[in-house]
Amino acid sequence: MRAVDSDSVLREALRQLYQAPPGETWTQQQWCEAFSYLFLAAPGSRHAVLEHQDDMLWFVAARDSLSPNAPNVWLRRNTSAELPTELRPGGSAFSSVDWTASAQLNLVVQAKYILTVVQCRQDCLAAIAQDHANPGPCTVGNHRQQPDVVIAQRRVYASPMAADVNLEEAKSGQSPQACYPDVCFAVDNYEDAFQDVILSRHDDCYCVMLHVHSSRGVSTGNAILLGSGPVQSERALASSSAPTQASQQVHDGERRAVLFSAYVTQEQVNAFITAHKLETSKTSLLNRFLGALREGDAKVHRQKVTMIGPGSLGRAEALAAAAPASSKTDAAAAGRVETALQMSLLWLSLPAAALAQAILRFACADHL
């Protein structure tokens, strides 16, 4: 492996995934060497994209060694500057690991992410995307406006494990299960995180953006989106890609890039909920009766809404519920629609391999 520092390793890894000719492709031993250099080296030698590393390492099982019902990923604590003897080349467990996929997965898990949710008018989507969802006036055409824009941001962490949110027993929780080859970005305390995101107009949009951050570098470039164009899917909303320009920018001393950007409108969410109610209304008489009881319950009815990302890459799940009474009163006073929706993002999932390639392009942007 022709590399003397983390920049060189990442640049070569990017070349390997995109354009290395057959005679120059890395062997599993070389991918293992890259894995060891990037994730076991001393902190001072790590690339800026990987500066937030913890001491946990993920390993992806090689397809040939995967037994029935065995997990396709497993976790080990990093306690040394070297791999355990059995995982080194020639070791008893070396061939049980897919070192290419393991290097990509740890690159994804160890990067720093910010999840941003934006509620804005549809004619402000382009300005919001260009400004990277920074609060402030929105310029539409030659007119500078101060729209009702709500922005909520939360630090999130990538994981190849995920737990479904049980709305009936949310506090009890569920054991996480492997979601790899996807990775999940779960939102802790999701009800509090985005409680101010309320769609109250027909042209209100609910935008979801995921950024990767690095404290080094000042380059700018094009968007690093994982897909483009809406895709229709049963029981899910197709979301459109928000217009994004100059996605790599410096903000608060950090360079960042958009990895995922999609939105749905208030009308789309309402239509989805209405269709779901029609579907459930076709169930048995007993279920209808129980449903009527639930409607009379004082508890707020919440509906899970699944959004399919642009290019069919990525899924986001949010809770939609009728907005609190005070918000409804404010909406009515402002002449907005009667059915105001409060949106809470639960999680976002994306393919690990696509994320790894996007992060590599981001890490190597200064050298491309």
Q: Would you say residue 368 lies in a domain? A: no
On the question of pLDDT at 220 being above 60, the answer is no
Rounded-to-integer distance, Cα 221 and Cα 224, Å? 9
User: Is residue 144 located within the same domain as residue 186?
Assistant: yes
Least confident of 46-60, 183-197, 205-219, 324-338: 324-338
Are 280 and 291 a contacting pair, CB within 8 Å? yes
pLDDT average, residue stretch 103-124: 92
Least confident of 181-190, 215-224, 325-334: 215-224
User: Is residue 123 located within the same domain as residue 73?
Assistant: no
Residue 353 has a CB neighbour count (10 Å cut-off) of 17
Are 210 and 185 a contacting pair, CB within 8 Å? yes
On the question of pLDDT at 225 being above 60, the answer is no
Q: Mind giving me the DSSP string for 222-257? A: ----S--S---BTTBEE-BPPP--S--EEETTEEEE
- How many domains is the chain partitioned into structurally? 2
On the question of pLDDT at 18 being above 80, the answer is yes
Fill in the DSSP letter of residue 135.
Answer: S
- Residues pairing with 162 in the sheet: 177
Are 271 and 237 a contacting pair, CB within 8 Å? no
User: Is residue 139 located within the same domain as residue 222?
Assistant: yes
User: Is residue 62 located within the same domain as residue 145?
Assistant: no
Comparing 136 with 211, which gets the higher pLDDT?
Answer: 211
Using pLDDT thresholds of 50, 70 and 90, give the confidence band for residue 102: very high
Map residue 163 onto helix, strand or coil: coil
Q: Identify the domain containing residue 85 by its residue range.
A: 6-110
User: Is residue 43 located within the same domain as residue 161?
Assistant: no
pLDDT tens, residue by residue, 75-96: 998 888 889 999 999 999 999 9
Considering the chain, what is the average pLDDT of its residues?
77
Rounded-to-integer distance, Cα 262 and Cα 215, Å? 25
On the question of pLDDT at 105 being above 50, the answer is yes
Listed residue (243, 230, 247, 245) closest to 313, CA to CA: 230
**pLDDT of the residue at 297:** 44
**pLDDT of the residue at 5:** 83
